[in-house]
Structure 1
Amino acid sequence: MSNLTLWSRPWDTERWLRDFFGPAAMVDWIQPRAHDQFTPAAEIIRHGDDAVVRLELPGIDVDKDVAVELDRGWLVIHGEHRDEHAEHEHGRSLREIRYGSFRRSFRLPEHVTSDAVSASYEAGVLTIRVAGAYARPEARRIAVTT
């Protein structure tokens, strides 16, 4: 007998995204963005056993406007890029810089704790290092009582 699986229902994009990317796919990909939100470009690089997440956030005051959190196994980066000139300058003819709130989230392995996460900001790039993200946790022997 073959292990061939056929699609039994029409293409379900939401289910496919959720299965492939995890629950955050619904938040990060499906839901429409408000006009005052943007998604900063991100990359994740493996450096030994560590994961290094880099987000492009030029012109942001990270001390005031960015939060990096570990929430139930998710690395969550959120904040706001404020337009300091909006109140003073009206009638701009070209506006390519994105302002508004942002939120990015990435699933982490279960063994990662907040002690393993560190963040720095330099030259418009927020860099978050997750120490040991790719390390395989050691197996623990469980004592059997008789």
Structure 2
Amino acid sequence: MIAFKSVKWGWIKGLLLDYPITFIPFFTTKLDKKEKIKHLKIWQKTMEFEKIPHFSEEIPQKVPMSIEKLKKIGIYPHRGNFLSGGEISYNLYMKSEELPVPDSDSFHYESHELKCTMNRGKYYYLHDQGYFYPGAGKELRIQTPGFFN
């Protein structure tokens, strides 16, 4: 935590003016719940004080993100939409009848089977078979300023 407090957040905030990004906490070590809450409070106070775009909590793995979070990091609505003429990529899953789902409000990849992968109107995986389209890929270049490399 000492290393976190020594970061020059003011400098980072200044660099974000040209290329805004959202900071998300991530713990590389296992912490007990009390210690994690303490670190998250320090994180939140620092980010709010510096007025840096951020999430207050870690992003849980294997759980769909809310629309609000997708908007905050710039994915929604720019990276896929259901509008006429829009492009969307998605995966469709079917619940596995063998495994009970402990929490019906959340999505558990372990209890779902991938049935279909669509990308720009073409299926890449359907009925347990993958499909390949030569030349279908598209290079996506993301320009990042040198100070983030």
More strand by share: 1
Same fold (TM over 0.5): no
Q: What TM-score does the superposition give when structure 1 sets the normalisation length?
A: 0.24
More helix by share: 2
Q: Which has the higher contact order (CA 8 A, sep 6+)?
A: 1
